[in-house]
Structure 1
Amino acid sequence: MSPAKINLMLRILGQREDGYHNLQTLFQILDWGDDMTFQQVNQNGQCQIRITGFNDVPEEQNLIHQAAQLLRPMARKQSDWLIDVNKRIPQGAGLGGGSSNAAMTLLMMNGYWDCGLCQERLLQLGNQLGADVPLFIHGRAALAGGTGNELISCQFDTPWVLLLLPDIHISTARLFQHNDLRRNQQCIDTALLHHQDLWINDFFPLLLSIDQSLRQLYQQLHHLNPVRLSGTGSAMFVLCKSRAEAEAAQSQLPQGLRSVVVQAKAAHSTGVEKNQ
């Protein structure tokens, strides 16, 4: 499985000279995401891959393709592969779907092509593809700094998550470039990181102010408290102590809103989707 992630907290500490932003964020990996299958189609080939499961993403823009291209020069086995993806993670949701797919490709093809790269080298390659890719190579919940790529393993008391997946695509670049984005947050001391009342997302008030459809949906969720935003996308979530609590909240969602109840990855449970 190629898992999704949520940002339990996302603070923007400042903009760097290179245009990127320094962040302090808490990542939780979920035990739910895309299914990826890798099938060898030619044992003696040219390190070619074919990707299926995407209808609207040109191959050269697909992070799976880009990840494979990074590995090809280091391959010691020249096999060709078919990579099929059953997408569950929506694009533009802030759940890291493309980054997760790229990380899974780096991890799997590193072995299949006998590249022999250590995790540190894979993390470096992942960082070339996107700020979230190292998280999925890291494979564990983490506190992240820098652009989100400086990772320290953590554990959080977030056993169950109700994911809310509105059919709204959000442009990350547009949000980062917006003049109203707050860019001067203070870094939270590590001793306070488990205080959930400090788990804010600086993009949430901005997104609610500029996206009417998301704002209207959020207003319908006032009985679920607190509703949080993941990353820079449209996906929202509610943290719950038990599956029963999460399913009770799910039963109260507006008609037509896609949702899924999942556990954190460490809990090793399978999510069950629901369309209201």
Structure 2
Amino acid sequence: MKYLLIAFFLLLFYVPLLAQHNQLKGTWYSADQEIMVIEDTSGRLENLMQRGEDFSNLVVTKKAISFRRQYYSSRTNYNVLYTDKFDFKILNCNDSVLTVMPVSDFSKKFFLNRGTIRFVKKQYWISKDLKVGKVFFHSSECFGSCPLIDIEIDPDRTVKYKLGGFATEAAKSGHFIGKMPDSTYQFFLLLLQNCQLETLRWNSVQCCDGVVVTLIFYFNKERKYLKSMLPSVITNDMLDFFYTIESKVVFKRTDEKFYMEE
């Protein structure tokens, strides 16, 4: 009987906590494009916060979240392991909304002394009445094996694709055209709806030897231009869509030379 009571109380404690852990998993956005990406609550995998910073582990209780950043420093000859704790009090958590309050010095500074922050899970953050026109994507060469990629997606689902650069084999480079399946195009529109397109912004860093990505959107009679070597984490899924476009559209090589807005 004693062991049954212990098991019962353990279930009362762990089952709600497990349910909360599952609710926390996912990508969360605030209205100010503050980001939490919680992929693992066991403390074994990396998670992300805001600008894509990596955190080695995550500690979750019923009332708090703590991101941990661990590192060694030359100040102590790399002999001491330091841990910075980014602690948040959970004010509300369900399948779609997470409201937290930064409570440690690191978390308060990281979120610019915001009192409370309300996050919405990515799949529930949908921009309504989004009328999308042409979309352009450009990915530059880099100091390495990065191909030069240019893509245009039109509202009639026509896709123009240019592949080139010194890192691309001559047989694979050229101009291509295809028609995107309707189901794939609807998925693409959903990616646009999920990335806060109306207020989306990127860090404008374009230095160094990395790939510089350019996105141009026409929507709701507006034009949005983004260009950066460090795009927002919010657009990761969309960028993956562009980089894997050959698996989504059947292309035919064409002699037509495309001009794509840059």
Give the TM-score normalised by the residue count of structure 2. 0.21
Q: Could you tell me the TM-score, scaled by structure 1's length? A: 0.20
Q: Which has the higher helix share?
A: 1
Greater C-alpha radius of gyration = 2
